[in-house]
Amino acid sequence: MRSAITGGAGFIGSHLAEHLLSLGDEVVVLDDFSTGSRGNLAHLEGDRRLRVIHGSVLDRGLVERIVGATDRVYHLAAAVGVKLIVEHPLRSLRTNIHGTENVIHAVFESGSSLLLASTSEIYGKNTSDALSEDADRVLGSPLRSRWTYAAAKGIDESIAHGYVVEHGTRIAIVRLFNTVGPRQTGRYGMVVPNLVHQALRGEPLTVFGDGRQTRCFSYVGDVVPAMVRLAESPAAVGRAVNLGGAAEVSILDLATRIVELLESPSEIRLVPYEIAYAPGYEDMRRRVPDNSLARELVGFEPSTTLDEIILRVAASALRHGTADQTMALAVPGPDLLEPVSSAAIGAA
Ligand SMILES: NC(=O)c1ccc[n+]([C@@H]2O[C@H](COP(=O)([O-])OP(=O)(O)OC[C@H]3O[C@@H](n4cnc5c(N)ncnc54)[C@H](O)[C@@H]3O)[C@@H](O)[C@H]2O)c1
């Protein structure tokens, strides 16, 4: 199998490249190294079945040449991370809409198949107990840049759907929920690497908002094999499939667990969203996946626990010297903020 991964030098893409090579595929990576890096693929460099091309999904001719020479495409290239989206809304929209359209069109022309990486952000502020794939989307104003990522990914899904309906193009969509693991950078606002890196450096852990917002983190090593099985599954064509973690945790409890597990001397500090990102920033209070469809289609059962995830992220940061990768706040300030008391942590 000849596979192409756009965004293959990123966090998830590099794990996917590793997994596809282990299955015997030839792999072409297309990446502009904006948030990803060659370093993420350094351990695979000796493998002659891997080709890494520095370029953009916005380059239509390049995308067509790469896609035309492959059997299956995994489209992961995107502007990712709340901080990046809020600071560069226009560039992010262009990449996430026009780049995706280029890839989908090239897949249609070449007759190959596509797995499109979408996101749980699609559901916006819908806080249901378990979000199934047909759940309603509840998005804030399009003039709040925070929602442009969800808006763009929604358009991507609709374009994909249009190609499936009108042309029979073989496209499956995965909606990833807070996927975490080694090689994820903290620079663009991802919470697990940020907090782990802060704990390793003995600095205050900066928890945004009141810390009671919850997420279900899933381990990249559980998610990537399911992505490949979905890409192979004829039953997944034309569908969007959730891939998320099994356990719901508040961010304050996550920070507390990180401090305990890593035996860090760090305090935990609450940072208002307007200091973290921008005035008027809105967050989701809760995001819980219903994984039934992924279970039914490919037997998806995420098994890596939160403790294992924290320890693996920490071990990787220490091994690769990346514990300096954390997000800079929009307004510097955690030193001015009160540490969270242990009573408040217990109540979260
Ligand atoms: N990590 C998560 O929790 C999560 C959740 C939901 C969805 N996703 C989706 O999964 C995919 C991968 O995300 P990730 O977490 O690995 O982030 P990432 O930032 O590590 O990966 C994105 C990759 O795309 C590359 N890229 C960006 N613009 C490009 C362009 N114009 N041309 C070519 N390459 C470009 C970046 O350099 C990077 O390597 C994205 O599509 C993202 O929307 C991730």
pTM above 0.85, yes or no: yes
Which one is catalytic: 123, 149, 188, 281? 149
Residue having the nearest C-alpha atom to atom 34 of ligand 1: 31
Radius of gyration, alpha carbons of the chain: 19
CA distances from 341 to 108, 256, 270, 327, 344 (A): 56, 11, 10, 24, 5
The reply to whether ligand 1 has any atom less than 6 angstroms from the CB of 92 is no
Q: State in Å: Cα 302 to ligand 1 middle.
A: 21
The reply to whether ligand 1 has any atom less than 6 angstroms from the CB of 191 is no
Atom of ligand 1 nearest to the CA of 35: 37
pLDDT value at residue 338: 63
For the chain, what percent of residues have pLDDT higher than 90? 80
Please state which CATH class domain 191-214+246-287+304-347 belongs to.
alpha beta
Q: Which residues contact 61 (CB under 8 A, 6 or more apart)?
A: none
Rounded to whole angstroms, the Cα distance separating 55 from 8 reads: 11
Q: Tens digits of per-residue pLDDT, 119-156?
A: 999 999 998 989 999 999 999 999 888 899 999 999 99
Can you list the residues of the chain whose pLDDT is less than 50?
Answer: 346-348
Spatial contact of 281 and 86, defined as CB atoms under 8 Å apart: yes
pLDDT value at residue 334: 53
Q: How many helices (H) and strands (E) does the chain have?
A: 13, 13
Active site residue 188: no
pLDDT value at residue 281: 77
Is the CA virtual torsion 131, 132, 136, 138 positive or negative?
Answer: positive
The reply to whether ligand 1 has any atom less than 6 angstroms from the CB of 17 is no
pLDDT value at residue 80: 92
Atom of ligand 1 nearest to the CA of 12: 16
Give the CATH number of domain 2-180+219-243.
3.40.50.720
pLDDT value at residue 343: 53
Q: State in Å: Cα 80 to ligand 1 middle.
A: 5
Q: Which two tokens stand for residue 312?
A: 């693996």
In whole numbers, what is the pLDDT of the chain averaged over residues?
92
Q: Give the start-to-end residue ranges of the domains of the chain.
A: 2-180+219-243, 191-214+246-287+304-347
Residue having the nearest C-alpha atom to atom 26 of ligand 1: 77
Is the CA virtual torsion 37, 41, 245, 173 positive or negative?
Answer: positive
